[in-house]
């Protein structure tokens, strides 16, 4: 068995306009002071890294790694969540999602998509130049407005949406294959890939491409009333990344999974800081250890109640305490005896 690495911190939720949250040096030093050993870096944030340089210059990447090491952390993975979101956008969300893209492509869905694909490929290149083997991403969505089957979905609608989604991602996967980098999808409401079934549908369309892998985040499954532990057993061979994020689902007589258009505090399902929600992280870490997951345990802080700086500091200790240093021997080895085939046959009553 293998021991996972950590704790790591996803920096996306902590980028801000004031020090230490406005620069790579400031955020990495702050993360180390909070108790983190690694940071997951969103490539859409230009204050953290120059993606164009990282995609083309190993020297720039070596410098970035050195700056991280000087701060006391290492770069765990790169994230292209927001750029992945823009690989496929239904027109209903064009205005809402324009804010994720460079201003030069606002109001031009085709240009925005081309920009997003280029960004994801550059993130793959940057990861390879940093010596990393995986990136995180969202899948984007064409079918999400039709997630509930009313009005009735026309025959073939979802199939057509997944055909198109696969066509957009296959060239990215092929590029990832050339660079030796996995694309790990965070299954998330709002994405066409939001649960196990939709992930399987997508895999069928991309011919089970080996680079189409998973970022496991149990919080999104809690909010969908899914069995997040069974998910690990089902998709063990595809899980390559892990977000330590908590959630709680408290349905009542007024609302359930859909949330009644309420804000996060008042929703039946809401995200919480690690340890404050309903995820059984003891069981999660045990199952991941049992499947030999040796990647990073990365805290993604999202909470409707707690201050982010408190959540980050508590999350580092929480994750460190849950990482299982796996054993190199069986607990009952002391009671073992030397055997051979002849002895085994005697024990089974097969001799004499």
Residue 59 has a pLDDT of 98
The CATH code that applies to domain 5-347 is 3.20.20.150
3-state SS assignment for residue 233: helix
Report the C-alpha gap between 176 and 104 in whole angstroms.
26
Q: Comparing C-alpha atoms, which of 56, 61, 50 is closest to residue 23?
A: 50
By the 8 A CB rule, do 129 and 54 touch? yes
pLDDT exceeds 90 at position 336: no
pLDDT exceeds 80 at position 334: no
Burial of 133 per CB tally in 10 Å (0-12, 13-18, 19+): middle
Residue 134 has a pLDDT of 98
Burial of 149 per CB tally in 10 Å (0-12, 13-18, 19+): exposed
Binning the chain into helix, strand and coil, the percentages to the nearest 5 are 45, 15, 40
What number of other Cβ atoms are within 10 A of residue 153's Cβ? 14
pLDDT digits (tens, 9 = 90+) for 93-127: 999 999 999 999 999 999 999 999 999 999 999 99
Tokens 């009005």 map to which residue?
Answer: 151
* Mean pLDDT computed over 247-261: 98
The domain locations on the chain are: 5-347
Greater confidence (155 vs 347) lies with 155
pTM summary value: 0.95
Residue 352 has a pLDDT of 58
What number of other Cβ atoms are within 10 A of residue 167's Cβ? 12
* Mean pLDDT computed over 258-275: 98
């Amino acid at each position: 068995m293998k021991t996972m690495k950590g704790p790591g911190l996803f920096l996306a939720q902590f980028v801000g306009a004031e020090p230490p949250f406005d620069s790579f040096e400031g955020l990495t030093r702050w993360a180390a002071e909070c108790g983190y050993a690694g940071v997951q870096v969103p490539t859409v944030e230009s204050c953290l890294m120059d993606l164009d340089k990282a995609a083309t210059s190993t020297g720039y990447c070596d410098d970035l790694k050195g700056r991280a090491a000087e701060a006391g952390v290492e770069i765990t993975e790169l994230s292209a969540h927001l750029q992945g979101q823009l690989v496929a956008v239904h027109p209903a969300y064009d205005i809402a999602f324009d804010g994720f893209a460079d201003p030069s492509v606002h109001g031009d869905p085709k240009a925005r998509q081309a920009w997003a694909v280029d960004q994801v490929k550059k993130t793959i290149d940057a990861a390879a130049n940093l010596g990393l083997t995986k990136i995180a991403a969202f899948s984007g969505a064409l079918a999400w407005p039709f997630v509930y089957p009313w009005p009735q979905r026309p025959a073939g609608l979802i199939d057509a949406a997944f055909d198109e989604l696969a066509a957009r991602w296959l060239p990215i996967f092929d590029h990832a294959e050339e660079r030796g980098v996995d694309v790990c999808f965070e299954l998330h409401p709002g994405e066409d890939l939001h649960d196990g079934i939709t992930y399987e549908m997508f895999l069928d369309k991309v011919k089970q491409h080996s680079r189409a892998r998973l970022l496991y985040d149990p919080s999104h499954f809690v909010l969908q009333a899914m069995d997040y532990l069974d998910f690990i057993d089902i998709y063990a061979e595809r899980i390559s990344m892990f977000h330590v994020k908590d959630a709680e689902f408290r349905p009542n007589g007024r609302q359930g999974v859909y949330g009644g258009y309420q804000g996060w505090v008042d929703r039946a399902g809401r995200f919480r800081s690690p340890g404050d929600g309903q995820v059984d992280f003891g069981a999660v870490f045990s199952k991941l250890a049992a499947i030999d997951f040796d990647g990073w345990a990365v805290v993604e802080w999202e909470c409707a109640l707690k201050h982010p700086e408190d959540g980050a500091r508590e999350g580092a200790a929480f994750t460190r305490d849950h990482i299982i240093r796996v054993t190199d021997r069986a607990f009952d080895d002391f009671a073992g005896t030397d055997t051979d085939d002849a002895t085994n046959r005697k024990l089974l009553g097969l001799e004499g």
